[in-house]
């Protein structure tokens, strides 16, 4: 495992800080731009030499930038499977970049606010992540980063179709604006499908998050713009920004409804979830996500008052398969991970009490 | 009312407004509604395939499609058929080569075919010059493979001179 990544493993990452506007419901805001270098084929038709030339060109140009001096630059093709998975869990690289072949890299800023993927589906994928609802700020940061890189690199651009991308679904602005939301009450009250439907009519897509394997993770949803061409970047950011308060309002109403109608059941559900997390001897990553989601909602509703939300946010990421292995310092099979995960949860939850929540390493 | 796919009661009544044949009402149970709605969260590849399918249903015959599928980009060599299957284009020049067929696709996906928004201050070289660069890179690799290093270095110099002249050329790809 790459020691350069060990330090990152112990941190929480910007997007899980658990702070920022509406952070009880909005986990993070992410803005990404897709860009391609002029004069090269898209990745699908790149030879291994083209990929190397793109990687070297981008790296050489970026190294000139003052803002680049603290950046951690990693050749993804040289990383172990666990390290690649670790970066995926951290949302610093995509699954596609982790799994593809040939020269590819990622540049990560020390605060984990931005990362630049090189040779993903497009030559460049610039992304900025903020904790809580902070789309305007995230857009401004990614735009400034794009300006800097664009000062050094000539992008493939068409006067009519805008920034040219490998997939026409990204053409134009190359912009994807995403907000990750925690919507447990809309799931419990079975309102979530209605919400899906209403969003599809306004060109906004919703995706569930996936954990280890392919099981559907019910309570976390990512809302993003579907269209990238024909509207300015500001209009696209605005479009997603306008829909989020509506979703937050739905979720809050559903939470209030649950408290008013069935507080005892809800309290029981939340307490059981905490109980299982504190006492299980082996536990899968899906089950952990499921129960942590309930505990997180319990904290936000005031049903649990002796556990900080930051602890739960950290546990969400630290109990993922690659994080567990990085923190343990060795590779573990699935069965061993389940035992290690249960013990990790116990250490950090069971002892927590008023003012005494266990500090995570 | 029963779900149109099984015996369970239909609790979701979805009206799909984007079907080419006009609004279509579906009556589904929760499970089938979830399945149907999850199809909407499709990958870019399937999204492109779906939109192309709609586009083809609307205006093109099987012969026209077969002819279109054989069209090939002279720069990267991708055929429209390959693009249709993979959902990914081969090079920036494809937007010029396949422009006639990509425009309706872009309208289907984005309800627009005109970029509105940020433009780079550094202008991209003309489409022809970009195509030439891509082709020269190919030729250089072939020359290296054949151990014709003299030819490879000539091509490398040509690439460098084209790249250094990039910023003063037209932006129209």
Structure confidence by residue, pLDDT tens digits, A253-302: 999 999 999 999 999 999 999 999 999 999 998 899 889 999 999 999 99
Query: Under an 8 A CB cutoff, do B120 and A150 touch?
Result: yes
Check if A308 contacts B (Cβ < 8 Å): no
Query: Other CB atoms closer than 10 Å to residue B101's CB: what's the count?
Result: 17
Which residues in chain A touch residue B79, judged by CB atoms under 8 angstroms apart? none
User: What is the pLDDT, as a whole number, of residue B84?
Assistant: 86
Reference A219, options A151, A141, A310, A291; nearest CA is: A291
Reference A113, options A124, A101, A126; nearest CA is: A126
CB burial of B48-73 (b: ≥16 within 10 Å; e: otherwise) equals: bbebbeebbeeebeeeeeeebeeebb
> Are B106 and B49 found together in one domain?
yes
Dihedral sign of CA atoms A111, A209, A139, B45 in order:
positive
Query: Under an 8 A CB cutoff, do A42 and B171 touch?
Result: no
Instruction: Pick B115's closest partner by Cβ from A39, A40, A172.
Output: A172
Query: Under an 8 A CB cutoff, do B44 and A232 touch?
Result: no
Query: Under an 8 A CB cutoff, do B78 and A44 touch?
Result: yes
- Cα A139 from Cα A26, distance rounded (Å): 17
Chain A interface disruption, residue of B51, B77, B90, B92, most A CBs within 10 A: B92
User: What is the pLDDT, as a whole number, of residue A80?
Assistant: 93
List the domain range (segments joined by +) for residue B157.
127-164
> Are B76 and B100 found together in one domain?
yes
- Residues in chain A with pLDDT values less than 50: 211-216, 353-361
> Is B169 part of any domain?
no
- Cα A45 from Cα B77, distance rounded (Å): 8
- Cα A59 from Cα A53, distance rounded (Å): 10
Query: Under an 8 A CB cutoff, do B88 and A227 touch?
Result: no
Chain A, residues 103-142, CB within 8 A of chain B, namely 121
- Is pLDDT above 50 for B20? no
Pick from A32-41, A101-110, B7-16, B69-78: least confident = B7-16
Tokens of B108: 């289907």
pLDDT tier at B60, thresholds 50, 70, 90: low
What is the rounded end-to-end Cα distance, in angstroms, of chain A? 18
Number of structural domains in chain B? 3
> Are B61 and B103 found together in one domain?
yes
Query: Under an 8 A CB cutoff, do A42 and B116 touch?
Result: no
The number of C-beta contacts closer than 8 angstroms across A and B is: 182
> Is B172 part of any domain?
no
> Is B17 part of any domain?
yes
Check if A36 contacts B (Cβ < 8 Å): yes
User: What is the pLDDT, as a whole number, of residue A215?
Assistant: 36
> Is B118 part of any domain?
no
Could you tell me which residue, B142 or A118, shows the higher pLDDT? A118
> Are B29 and B53 found together in one domain?
no
User: What is the pLDDT, as a whole number, of residue A354?
Assistant: 42
- Is pLDDT above 70 for B170? no
- Cα A324 from Cα A332, distance rounded (Å): 9
> Is B117 part of any domain?
no
> Are B55 and B11 found together in one domain?
no
Chain A, residues 216-255, CB within 8 A of chain B, namely 227-233, 235
User: What is the pLDDT, as a whole number, of residue B68?
Assistant: 82
Chain A, residues 139-198, CB within 8 A of chain B, namely 143, 146, 150-151, 153-164, 166-173, 175, 190, 193, 196-197
> Are B72 and B101 found together in one domain?
yes
Tokens of A150: 């664009």
> Is B115 part of any domain?
no
Percent over 90 (pLDDT), chain B: 21
User: What is the pLDDT, as a whole number, of residue B26?
Assistant: 72
Query: Under an 8 A CB cutoff, do B115 and A50 touch?
Result: no
> Is B170 part of any domain?
no
Mean predicted lDDT score pLDDT of chain B: 78
- Is pLDDT above 90 for B50? no
pLDDT tier at B36, thresholds 50, 70, 90: low
Tokens of B170: 């037209």
What is the rounded end-to-end Cα distance, in angstroms, of chain B? 55
Distance (Å) from the alpha carbon of B61 to chain A's nearest alpha carbon: 23
> Are B63 and B101 found together in one domain?
yes
Which residues in chain A touch residue B33, judged by CB atoms under 8 angstroms apart? 193
> Are B24 and B61 found together in one domain?
no
pLDDT tier at B57, thresholds 50, 70, 90: low
């Amino acid at each position: 495992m790459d020691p350069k990544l060990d330090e990152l493993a112990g941190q929480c990452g910007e997007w899980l800080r658990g702070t920022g506007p509406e952070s009880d419901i909005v986990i993070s805001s992410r803005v990404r731009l897709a860009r391609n270098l002029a004069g090269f084929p898209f990745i699908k038709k790149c030879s291994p030499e083209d990929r190397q030339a793109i990687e070297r060109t981008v790296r050489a140009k970026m190294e000139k930038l003052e803002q680049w001096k603290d950046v951690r630059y990693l050749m993804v093709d040289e990383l172990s499977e666990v390290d690649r998975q670790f970066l995926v869990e951290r949302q610093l690289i995509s699954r596609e970049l982790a799994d593809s072949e040939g020269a590819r890299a990622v540049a990560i800023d020390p605060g984990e606010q931005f990362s630049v993927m090189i040779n993903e589906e497009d030559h460049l994928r610039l992304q900025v992540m903020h904790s809580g609802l902070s789309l305007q700020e995230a857009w401004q940061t990614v735009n400034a980063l794009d300006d800097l890189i664009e000062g050094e690199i000539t992008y493939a651009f068409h006067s009519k179709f805008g920034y040219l991308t490998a997939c026409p679904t990204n053409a134009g602005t190359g912009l994807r604006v995403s907000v990750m939301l925690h919507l447990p009450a809309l799931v419990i009250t079975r309102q979530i499908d209605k919400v899906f439907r209403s969003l599809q009519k306004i060109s906004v897509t919703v995706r569930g998050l996936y954990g280890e394997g392919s099981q559907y993770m019910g309570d976390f949803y990512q809302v993003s713009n579907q269209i990238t061409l024909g509207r300015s970047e500001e209009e696209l950011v605005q479009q997603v920004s306008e829909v989020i308060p509506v979703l937050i309002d739905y979720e809050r109403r559903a939470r209030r409804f649950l408290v008013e109608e069935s507080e005892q059941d809800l309290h029981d559900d939340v307490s059981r979830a905490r109980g299982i997390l504190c006492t299980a001897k082996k536990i899968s990553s899906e089950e952990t996500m499921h129960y942590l989601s309930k505990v997180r909602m319990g904290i936000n509703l005031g049903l649990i008052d002796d556990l900080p939300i930051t602890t739960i946010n950290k546990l969400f990421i630290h109990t993922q398969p690659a994080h567990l292995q990085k923190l343990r310092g060795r590779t573990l099979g699935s069965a061993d991970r389940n035992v290690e995960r249960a013990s990790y949860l116990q250490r950090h939850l069971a002892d927590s009490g008023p003012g005494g929540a266990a500090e995570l390493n | 009312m029963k779900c149109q796919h099984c015996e369970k009661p239909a609790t979701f009544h979805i009206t799909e407004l984007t079907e080419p044949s006009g609004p279509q009402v579906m009556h589904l149970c929760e499970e089938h509604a979830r399945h149907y709605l999850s199809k909407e969260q499709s990958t870019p590849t399937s999204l492109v395939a779906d939109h192309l399918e709609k586009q083809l249903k609307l205006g093109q015959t099987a012969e026209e499609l077969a002819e279109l599928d054989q069209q090939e980009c002279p720069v990267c060599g991708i055929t429209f058929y390959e693009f249709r299957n993979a959902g990914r284009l081969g090079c920036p020049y494809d937007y010029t080569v396949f422009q006639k067929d990509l425009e309706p696709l872009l309208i289907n996906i984005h309800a627009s075919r005109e970029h509105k928004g940020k433009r780079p201050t550094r202008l991209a070289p003309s489409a022809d010059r970009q195509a030439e660069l891509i082709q020269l890179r190919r030729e250089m690799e072939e020359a290296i493979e054949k151990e014709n290093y003299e030819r490879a270095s000539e091509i490398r110099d040509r690439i460098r001179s084209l790249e250094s002249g990039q910023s003063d050329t037209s932006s129209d790809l």
